[in-house]
Structure 1
Amino acid sequence: MQSCTCNGLHRTARATQMRSRRSYPHPAQHSRTLQLFTLALLSILLLLAISACGGSQAQSGGKVNLTYALWDSNEQVGYQKSIDVFEKQHPNIKVTIQQTDYDQYWQKLDTQIAAGAAPDIFWNDLTYFPHYVVQNQLMDVTPLMEKDKLDTSIYYPALLKQYTYQGKYYGLPKDWDTIAIFYNKSLFQKQNITVPKELIWNPTDGGSFVKLAQQLTVDKSGLHPDQSGFNAGSTSQYGFISANLNQEIYWNYMAMNGGSFMDKPFGQHFLYNQPANIQALQYLVDLISKWHVSPPASETNNSGDAMTQLFARGKVAMIETGSWNVSYLSKQVNFPFGIMELPAGPKGRISVLNGLADSIYTKTAHPQEAWELFKWLASTQSQEIVASNGIVWPGVKSAAPLFAAYWKKQNIDVSPFLNEAEGQTVSAPITPVFNEAESKIDDTFNQVWLGQLSVPQGTTKAVQDADNVIQSNGS
Structure 2
Amino acid sequence: MNRNGKKVVFTIPVVLTMLLVGCGTSTANKPGHQFSTSEGSASTQVVTLHYMLWDPNEEIGYKQSIAVFEKLHPNIKVVIEQYPWSQYWQKLETEMAAGTAPDVFWDHVTYFPTFVTNGQLLNLTPYIKSSHVDLREYYPNLLKQYEYNGNIYGLPKDWDTIAIFYNKKLFEKDHVPFPTNLTWNPRNGGTLVKVAEEMTVDKNGKHPGQPGFNPNQIVQYGFMSYNSNQSFYYNFLAEDGVKILDHNFGTQVLMDTPQAIQTMQNLIDMIYKYHVSPSGAEGANVVNSEGNAQQLFEEGKLAMYTDGDWVLTPVVKASNFPVGIAPLPVGPIGRVSVMNGLSDAIYAHTKYPKQAWELVQWLASPQSERILASGGYVWPGIKSLAPLFAQAWTKKGVDVTPFLEESRGKTISFPITVNWGQAENAIDKEFDLMWLGKVPPSQALQTAVQQADAALNGGQ
1:19/1:305 contact within 8 Å kept: no
Rounded Cα–Cα distance in structure 2 between residues aligned with 1:320 and 1:374: 32
2:3 to 6, 15, 18: 18
Report 1:279-298 matches (<5 A). 279-298=262-281
Asked if residue 333 in structure 1 is aligned to residue 319 in structure 2, the reply is: yes
Match of 1:168 in 2: 151
Distance apart, 1:308 and its partner CA: 0.8
CA distance in 2, matches of 1:19, 1:446: 26
1:447-462 alignment, distance < 5 Å: 447-462=433-448
Query: What displacement does 1:283 show?
Result: 1.3
1:71 aligns with 54
Q: What is the aligned partner in structure 1 of residue 293 from structure 2?
A: 307
CA distance in 2, matches of 1:88, 1:337: 38
SS at match of 2:52: strand
The Cα shift of 1:472 comes to 2.0
**Residue from 149, 170, 184 that aligns with 1:201:** 184
Contact 2:4 2:57 in 1 (8 A): no
How well do the aligned residues superpose, as a CA RMSD in angstroms? 1.7
Does 1:102 pair with 2:88? Answer: no
Shift of 1:79: 0.8
Q: What is the CA deviation profile of residues 28-49 of structure 1, one whole-angstrom value per residue up to 9, with x for unaligned ones?
A: xxxxxxxxxxxxxxxxxxxxxx
Count of residue pairs brought into register by the alignment: 420
2-structure distance, mates of 1:123, 1:318 = 30
Give me the whole-angstrom Cα distance separating, in 2, the residues matched to 1:254 and 1:19.
Answer: 30
Work out whether residues 188 and 266 of structure 2, in 8 Å CA contact, stay in contact via their aligned partners in 1: no
2:307 maps to: 321
Give the CA deviation at 1:17. 6.5
Measure the CA separation in 2 of the matches of 1:369 and 1:205. 56
Gaps of 5+ in 2: 6-42
Which among 130, 138, 143 is matched to residue 126 of structure 2?
143
CA distance in 2, matches of 1:77, 1:316: 30
The separation in 1 between residues aligned to 2:155 and 2:333, in whole angstroms, is: 30
Match of 1:127 in 2: 110
TM-score, normalising length: structure 1: 0.86
Alpha-carbon offset, residue 401 of structure 1: 1.9
Query: Where in structure 1 do 4 or more consecutive aligned residues deviate above 4 Å?
Result: none
Which amino acid letter does the alignment assign opposite residue 369 of structure 1? Q
**Residue in 2 aligned with 1:425?**
411
**Distance between the aligned counterparts of 1:183 and 1:205, measured in 2?**
21
Of the three residues 170, 184, 191, the one matched with 2:167 is 184
1:469 is paired with a residue whose SS is: helix
Q: 1:446 aligns with which of 429, 432, 453?
A: 432
Identity of aligned residues (%): 51
Equivalent-residue separation in structure 2 for 1:185 and 1:107 (angstroms): 39
The letter for the 2-side match of 1:159 is L
Matched-pair contact (CA < 8 Å) for 2:284–2:435:
no
Which TM-score applies when normalising by structure 2? 0.88
**Gaps spanning 5+ residues in structure 1: where?**
1-15, 21-59
Q: Is the 8 A contact 1:433 1:473 kept in 2?
A: no
Whole-angstrom CA distance in 2 between matches of 1:391 and 1:319: 21
Amino acid at match of 1:262: L
In structure 1, the partner of 2:214 is: 231
Secondary structure of residue in 1 paired with 2:92:
helix
- Cα pair 1:257 1:276 within 8 Å, conserved: yes
Letter in 2 for 1:322: G
